[in-house]
Amino acid sequence: MTIGKKFNQLDKSEYFLIIENYKQYKDFNTLGLYRSICENENLDLETRMEVRDFAHTIFKKTFNFYQLKDPKTYFELTTLGMNLTVADERQAWKEIRENQEKILSDKKIKHRNFGDYSKHNCGYDNCPYNGIMIKQGTGLSENHMWFETDKKKENAKNKSKNQKKQRREKYKIIRDDLDN
């Protein structure tokens, strides 16, 4: 049996059904599932948290390993709905960094065997990701990829706000012209 749908198109009841019966789906993929919880636009915050918590009842051990495999997804999911201060965020990344080291030593994996992992090192001393091990292609490897996207989103929002304002002003001038 296959899911036949992308994870980030599922609704809440489909998530629960698929997680519960995950062994029956040939195309089930735990990382894909967890990533989609952040990305799926059909879900509101509360539902994201419910799906995450339900997935944790089965896949929590696998999820913990994502601190190494995909720290961005791990961070986003563990801090869902929390209002983090900069200091909180820093603390969360510090814990991820420590847990990465634990995972590596528990598995007796020597760093040199992790060819496709590298440590984040952007050159900014106060960067919260400093020393975080990143697998290539999973975000964070490019310097501040998500800060960059956040900024872009912010700019796009402001831009559309400005355009609306400009349009309003334009119409106002036209109306004023008609009135006179």
User: Contact 93/132 with Cβ under 8 angstroms?
Assistant: yes
In the numeric block, which tokens belong to residue 172?
Answer: 């106002």
The residue behind tokens 């814990």 is: 95
| Cβ closest to Zn ion, residue 52 vs residue 128 | 128
Q: Exactly one of 17, 82, 84, 122 binds Zn ion (CB under 5 A); which one?
A: 122
Please report how close the Cβ of residue 155 comes to Zn ion at its closest, in angstroms: 21
Closest approach of Cβ 67 to Zn ion, in Å? 17
* Least separation in angstroms between CB 7 and Zn ion: 29
Task: Single out the segment in contact with Zn ion by CB under 5 A; choices: 5-13, 25-33, 119-127, 162-170.
Answer: 119-127
Sign of CA dihedral 118, 124, 126, 128: negative
Give the one residue of 28, 64, 127, 146 binding Zn ion; rule: CB under 5 A: 127
For residues 88 and 163, give the distance between their C-alpha atoms in angstroms, rounded to a whole number: 36
| CA 99 – CA 93 distance, rounded (Å) | 10
Single-letter code of the amino acid located at 176: D
Residue numbers of the site for Zn ion (CB under 5 A)? Answer: 122, 127, 129
